[in-house]
Amino acid sequence: MKKIIHLLFISSLILLTVSCGGKNGKNETKGTESADRAAAEAVETAEVVVTEWNIPFLNCLTGPIAGIGEYLQWGAEYAAEQINAEGGIAGKPVRIERIDTGMSPEKGTVAMSKLVEDALVVMGPVPEPVIMAAVPIAAEEGLYCFTATTSYEYAAEYFPWAISFFPPTEEKLQIAVKAWAEKAGAGKAVQFVENYGAWPGMAKAHALGLEAAGAQVLENVEVPTDAVTFGPLAVKALARNPDTIIFACNAEKVAKIIIELKNRGWKDMNKILIFSSADDAALYTTGGESLNGAIIYNFSNSNLDTPRWNEFSRAFKEDHEGMEPFSLSPNYYDAVYMIKRAIEETGVTGDPNKLAEEREKIMKYCNDIEKFDGLQFTWTNRGGFPADKPLFLFEIQNGKKILVDKIIPE
């Protein structure tokens, strides 16, 4: 009997620990005349040898950020569906191969070690710990990675074999925060920072922007990753008597801290700035009306009114119980279209014998792609990142974002 109880205890313990584990738009871009000529020649001479283009996507479909992984995957598969409906890539259908790393760097490494053998190009990995573990393998073996949701700094480490869809954090955010701080009349600021991924770096860029606007950062209040109560953090911030507050932490935590701040008398909501990574469903569902008046910045504009965006938005809502597309939703949609354009414009054939050469063609083309017709705007890459992607400032009102400013880099 004792033995059976012991075994039952062990089996339940193992199960417990194991379960804790979790448009349409033709690419009518025009580069320089010579590039066009070269591309046209390449397309004329190249003959596609694959029957289907397989694009592996190293994503997180289980584990702590499975929710984000799902809508990244949705964006990529929606793009593939549209491309196939229009005749595919160079006349052949495209398929997005789902590879789930479960946010495990170990799984990401092993998956990447398989992909370097025969993949033409890779989308992902997601997120940063998996990128840091798996992309060095791809870079060493000459396999190009679309790390489309990570900050420039992480991709830059493996340039030219990794691309980011974001410009250098410090430069871009500094300009945006400066513009907002001047408008809001920021004087003394406190910043809530969570030590996760690129967030401390983004907080540093916020501070530089504030300084450039003549404001001062009184303190960075550290938000612990496993924090469950936020009252003490709000008290700590308010004790410094700031007139401005900036957030660089998880969406749900932002909402909870704002509620605590308001409970303790904070009124000037226009002097609260929320960073782009918190522009997530959890922010609005947790914060509700308490967020009214707060400012949030982002690289995507959900208020856009173009046929392509409206169609994407409608399809997203249809598949996600009416929810608006999240800020990162277009990234892998755009990645699939960028790969399509690279394959078609450089005359990639998918021939296994030319694998190394064709990988390099795609890499070179995408790192400096001209006037790429993205889902939200047209941009040009310089050295593996977008050089002219705009940044938007919104005011939150009843769960909606109202555009207040658009910042385009010079």
**E strands, 114-161, where?**
122-123, 145-146
d(CA 166, CA 389): 8
Q: Does 238 bind another protein (CB under 8 A)?
A: no
Out of 40, 41, 67, 113, the only residue in the binding site for another protein (CB under 8 A) is 113
d(CA 327, CA 207): 23
**Would you say 101 or 346 has its CB closer to another protein?**
101
Out of 97, 171, 289, 319, the only residue in the binding site for another protein (CB under 8 A) is 97
Out of 35, 42, 65, 110, the only residue in the binding site for another protein (CB under 8 A) is 110
Contacts of 109 (CB under 8 A, 6+ apart): 133, 134, 137
The pair of structure tokens assigned to 76 is 């990529």
Binding mask 312-351 for another protein (x = CB under 8 A): ----------------------------------------
**Would you say 47 or 97 has its CB closer to another protein?**
97
Stretch that binds another protein, among 31-39, 105-113, 236-244, 352-360 (CB under 8 A): 105-113
Q: In what order do the strands lie in the sheet with 400-407?
A: 216-223, 188-194, 244-248, 272-274, 295-298, 391-397, 400-407
**Would you say 3 or 267 has its CB closer to another protein?**
3
**Would you say 134 or 375 has its CB closer to another protein?**
134
Task: Answer for the pair 30, 371: CB distance below 8 angstroms, yes or no.
Answer: yes
Contacts of 234 (CB under 8 A, 6+ apart): 257, 260, 261, 263, 264
d(CA 187, CA 216): 6
Q: How many residues bind another protein (CB under 8 A)?
A: 48
Out of 76, 99, 186, 274, the only residue in the binding site for another protein (CB under 8 A) is 99
Q: Does 225 bind another protein (CB under 8 A)?
A: yes
Q: Does 123 bind another protein (CB under 8 A)?
A: no
The least distance separating another protein from the CB of residue 132, rounded to whole angstroms, comes to 4
| Span between the terminal Cα atoms of the chain, in Å | 76
The pair of structure tokens assigned to 343 is 């394959």
The least distance separating another protein from the CB of residue 88, rounded to whole angstroms, comes to 20
The least distance separating another protein from the CB of residue 45, rounded to whole angstroms, comes to 33
Binding mask 38-67 for another protein (x = CB under 8 A): -----------------------xx-----
**Would you say 97 or 268 has its CB closer to another protein?**
97
The least distance separating another protein from the CB of residue 153, rounded to whole angstroms, comes to 11
The least distance separating another protein from the CB of residue 73, rounded to whole angstroms, comes to 11
d(CA 203, CA 75): 28
d(CA 244, CA 214): 13
Q: Does 159 bind another protein (CB under 8 A)?
A: no
Stretch that binds another protein, among 175-183, 184-192, 212-220, 221-229 (CB under 8 A): 221-229
Contacts of 111 (CB under 8 A, 6+ apart): 56, 58, 99, 101, 134
C-beta atoms surrounding 62 within 10 Å: 15
Q: Does 17 bind another protein (CB under 8 A)?
A: yes
Q: Does 100 bind another protein (CB under 8 A)?
A: yes
d(CA 89, CA 205): 40
The least distance separating another protein from the CB of residue 225, rounded to whole angstroms, comes to 6
d(CA 280, CA 327): 7
Q: Does 136 bind another protein (CB under 8 A)?
A: yes
> To the nearest 10°, the Cα dihedral for 407, 28, 312, 126?
-70
**Would you say 280 or 344 has its CB closer to another protein?**
280
The least distance separating another protein from the CB of residue 85, rounded to whole angstroms, comes to 22
**Would you say 61 or 79 has its CB closer to another protein?**
61
Distances in Å between the Cα of 377 and the Cα atoms of 174, 372, 391 are: 22, 8, 11
Which of 399, 381, 389 lies closest to 322, judged by CA? 399
Side chain identity at 264, as an amino acid letter? R
Provide the binding-site residues for another protein, judged by CB under 8 A: 3-4, 6-7, 9-11, 13-15, 17-22, 61-62, 97-100, 103-107, 109-110, 113-114, 116-117, 128-129, 132-133, 136-137, 140-141, 195-197, 200, 224-226
